[in-house]
Structure 1
Amino acid sequence: MEYVSRLLSDAIRKSPKNKAVILFGARRAGKTTLLSHLLGNSDARWFSGDHSADVQMLTSLASAADLRVLLDGISSIVIDEAQKIPNIGLLIKRLADLGSSVRVFATASGSLDLADGVMESAAGRIRRFALWPLTIEEIALHTSWLDAVRSLPERLVFGSYPSIVLDPEEAKGSLTAYYDTLLFKDIFSCSGVRKHPAFLRLVEILAYRIGRMSTAESLARECDLSAGTVESYLGLLEESFIIKILPSYAANHANELKKSKKIYFCDLGVRNTAIADFSPFSTRPPEEQGALFENYFVMERIKRHSYKDRFVQHYFWRNKAGSEVDLIELNDDQMQAFEIKLNRSDVKTPSAFAAAYPGASFHVVNQSNFYRYFAEPETPKA
């Protein structure tokens, strides 16, 4: 299939050769394809946690001699779906400790058990990256910025997974099959989730509520789960790159909300599949159109900073009087605020926000200017 170059490629190429590269991301985000492209026709050796024979082989390596036999005659080793390999963190540590010239790569469909296991067992020996569905910049570099901007309605309905962007005719069938068979596979197999119907009901509720304020208690009432279980499920969904949670930002002002959160989908194709709605963007109610556009812009900003390895924190802001800012970005002592309105440009900075955070820059984002926040090297000045 046609290949779309990924912005993460250079960072992976430049990562220290004596450290294992761990590539996290949802299934079908393109992790294996990216590594296949980077490694090309090299003598890499591939294993997969989805293959029982590979799992058995990797878990039976008892000595340093076994590892040297495994690595003999190759330049790289790749372990796909590594979260399914028992004690994978220890295995990566042992491979790194050999100090050989063989590069070690692993992929994982979300953090789940892998992240903590690797971080604990292989501390200082790994370089971790997150791979997201395609960004607007990646799509633009593959086609053109004009095409990428024009395709916004399709991205808001079918999302940005590589296979969907490259084969739009099969989008509905591909997304439905992906949702039904693969999307939650690792959550159900690795996390001990037992109440699958209630879990899927929660996902459906989240899909209807994108961009709206929620609490664990309010969600629990809607899907007949305890608040603690909802919190646990939300954590699993976020670790699996299915949703992104934005907490409310507050700097100890008494009138600011502190416990609410906004929840977005990492990919809108998944969101629309959750509610079985692939109707054209233009036919949807204005409120839903605005929510989809907000979700898209927020996730594109998150992906952008993730790939640039910036330590940017993302929030929303609202006070008890109902004044709100859709997206807050904090980077050290710099704050940027974004009001995201599909068809409006006449939005002013909320006076309560301006009084509380006079140093923040304020941006109004709409469908006419959104691409400028990704096509230019840095965010344009307000």
Structure 2
Amino acid sequence: MSFIERSVAALLQSSRPSKACVLLGPRQAGKTTLLSMLSGRGSAAWYSGDDCASAAALLGLQASSDIRTLLLSADTVIIDEAQRIPGIGLLIKRLADADAWLEKPVRLFAAASSSLELSAGVRESALGRIEEICVWPLSTAELAGSSSWGTTLQNLGTRIVYGTYPEVCTHPEDAKKILINHCGAMLYKDLFDLSGIRFSIKFENLVRLLARSIGSVVTYEGLGRETGLAKATVMDYIRLLEECFIIKVCPSFSKNLGNEMKKGKKIYFCDTGIRNAVIRDFSPLSSRADAGALWENFFFMERVKYHSLQQDFSEIYFWKTTGHKPQTVDFIELTDQKMRAFDCRLSPKARAKSSEAFIKTYPDCPLEVVSPNDLMRLWQPKLPFN
């Protein structure tokens, strides 16, 4: 397995030339490879925030005539590792503005492995001039497309343990080393450089605590007590981790019942392999005490990837009641006010958790028990509410 076709490529090819297309997603998820494919279909001007000379050339574009000259020199302008270029938001705004006046607009692409700089740069300075597309690690549908669903489901236990980063999937013999090295670079070097985190030991303790808490409801106050960090600092660190595409927060859903949990959150890792690298545990799924939580994390991210590709702006929540005997539903998807609920189980014969209160309160919401065998069905495009 040397090359795996990415579903997101179709979104990139259909992006409007009148807007700058910004690729966001974890480091090493495949953004640069996708941009390389785009650059090979005509003349392309390529810049990278990792290259000092390249970044300096971009920063040297001061006059409007300089911008226009650049745009007229190529069919496509690509800026990789854009988060490392100071003032990238204003630069993209100027490129997009000038491009709109060209008789034949060029295609503008930027890629970033962190939205830390972009959130205060591109999204404010280039408002209305960008189209954001997320590039996640590989989905099971993409893996199946490169082999078969039978093979993918047969190897799913390995994928849940080692995750789906492209390099991990194409070089499985080096998976553990790749993940541990990647975890160190992504979690600490990149994030520390971008954010200026001061309490590095407590930050690392927080990351490990989050890794051991997947599938569990947490609060910022509780995380603060266990790590010795102030609540506000915990909130800042979790925001940074999410903006660097290391974790993804799943909020609680509450609408009708007075005892529906409102403040708790579940926090999952964007890749289960990275999660296992954090705790240094790559034991087989069959022998793990946390196998159920890993499957829940894996399923959550598969649905995140699915909705990201569909661009349907769905939101995903968990549901839980408070009190002595709480009832739970693992996930609720809300798409155009239509609800769909899932309970994750490793065995296809397992039944849903006790959720009578949910069924009574939301009788029109279908509740499905999902096991690893259901992944192929859940990636099909014609399911209700998909």
TM-score (norm 2): 0.94
Written as runs of structure 1 = structure 2, the 5 A alignment for 1:54-73 is: 54-73=54-73
In the alignment, what sits opposite 1:373? 378
Distance in 2 (CA, whole Å) between partners of 1:183 and 1:4 is 26
Distance in 2 (CA, whole Å) between partners of 1:319 and 1:379 is 28
In the alignment, what sits opposite 2:245? 241
- Which moved further from structure 2: 120-129 or 158-167? 120-129
Distance in 2 (CA, whole Å) between partners of 1:147 and 1:316 is 31
Compute the displacement of 1:210 (Å): 0.5
In the alignment, what sits opposite 1:53? 53
Question: Helix, strand or coil: the match of 2:281?
Answer: coil
In the alignment, what sits opposite 1:144? 148
Question: Helix, strand or coil: the match of 2:121?
Answer: helix
In the alignment, what sits opposite 1:302? 304
Compute the displacement of 1:103 (Å): 1.4
In the alignment, what sits opposite 2:235? 231
In the alignment, what sits opposite 1:169? 173
Distance in 2 (CA, whole Å) between partners of 1:78 and 1:184 is 27
Cα deviation digits, residues 308-359 of structure 1 (max 9, x gap): 0011111000001310000000112211010101124322661100111111
Question: Helix, strand or coil: the match of 2:301?
Answer: helix
Quick check: 1:329–1:337 contact (8 Å CA) kept in 2? yes
Letter matched to residue 358 of structure 2: F
In the alignment, what sits opposite 2:333? 329
In the alignment, what sits opposite 1:279? 283
Quick check: 2:320–2:326 contact (8 Å CA) kept in 1? yes
Q: Kindly indicate whether residue 123 of structure 2 is the aligned counterpart of residue 119 of structure 1.
A: yes
Question: Helix, strand or coil: the match of 1:133?
Answer: coil
Distance in 2 (CA, whole Å) between partners of 1:120 and 1:86 is 14
Letter matched to residue 292 of structure 1: L
Compute the displacement of 1:184 (Å): 3.7
Cα deviation digits, residues 149-205 of structure 1 (max 9, x gap): 111111111100001001101111111111122344332122221111111111111
Aligned length, in residue pairs: 378
Q: Kindly indicate whether residue 322 of structure 2 is the aligned counterpart of residue 317 of structure 1.
A: no
Letter matched to residue 237 of structure 1: L
Q: Kindly indicate whether residue 202 of structure 2 is the aligned counterpart of residue 198 of structure 1.
A: yes
Cα deviation digits, residues 94-118 of structure 1 (max 9, x gap): 1111123321110011211213311
Compute the displacement of 1:245 (Å): 0.7
Question: Helix, strand or coil: the match of 2:22?
Answer: strand
Compute the displacement of 1:380 (Å): 6.3
Letter matched to residue 370 of structure 1: L
- Which moved further from structure 2: 239-248 or 94-103? 94-103
In the alignment, what sits opposite 2:255? 251
Question: Helix, strand or coil: the match of 1:371?
Answer: helix
Quick check: 1:373–1:380 contact (8 Å CA) kept in 2? no
In the alignment, what sits opposite 2:366? 361
Question: Helix, strand or coil: the match of 1:250?
Answer: coil
Question: Helix, strand or coil: the match of 2:124?
Answer: helix
Distance in 2 (CA, whole Å) between partners of 1:133 and 1:300 is 10
Identity score, percent: 46
In the alignment, what sits opposite 1:105? 109
1:215 to 182, 197, 219: 219
In the alignment, what sits opposite 1:291? 293
Quick check: 1:314–1:330 contact (8 Å CA) kept in 2? yes
Q: Kindly indicate whether residue 42 of structure 2 is the aligned counterpart of residue 38 of structure 1.
A: no
Q: Kindly indicate whether residue 162 of structure 2 is the aligned counterpart of residue 158 of structure 1.
A: yes
Quick check: 1:109–1:186 contact (8 Å CA) kept in 2? no
Distance in 2 (CA, whole Å) between partners of 1:139 and 1:331 is 26
Quick check: 2:329–2:353 contact (8 Å CA) kept in 1? no
Distance in 2 (CA, whole Å) between partners of 1:97 and 1:333 is 36
Distance in 2 (CA, whole Å) between partners of 1:81 and 1:209 is 31
Cα deviation digits, residues 27-76 of structure 1 (max 9, x gap): 10000101112332522111111112222221121101222333343111
Change (3 A) 1:48 1:158: same
In the alignment, what sits opposite 2:25? 25
Unaligned runs of at least 5 residues, structure 1: none
Distance in 1 (CA, whole Å) between partners of 2:300 and 2:10 is 24
Quick check: 1:372–1:380 contact (8 Å CA) kept in 2? no
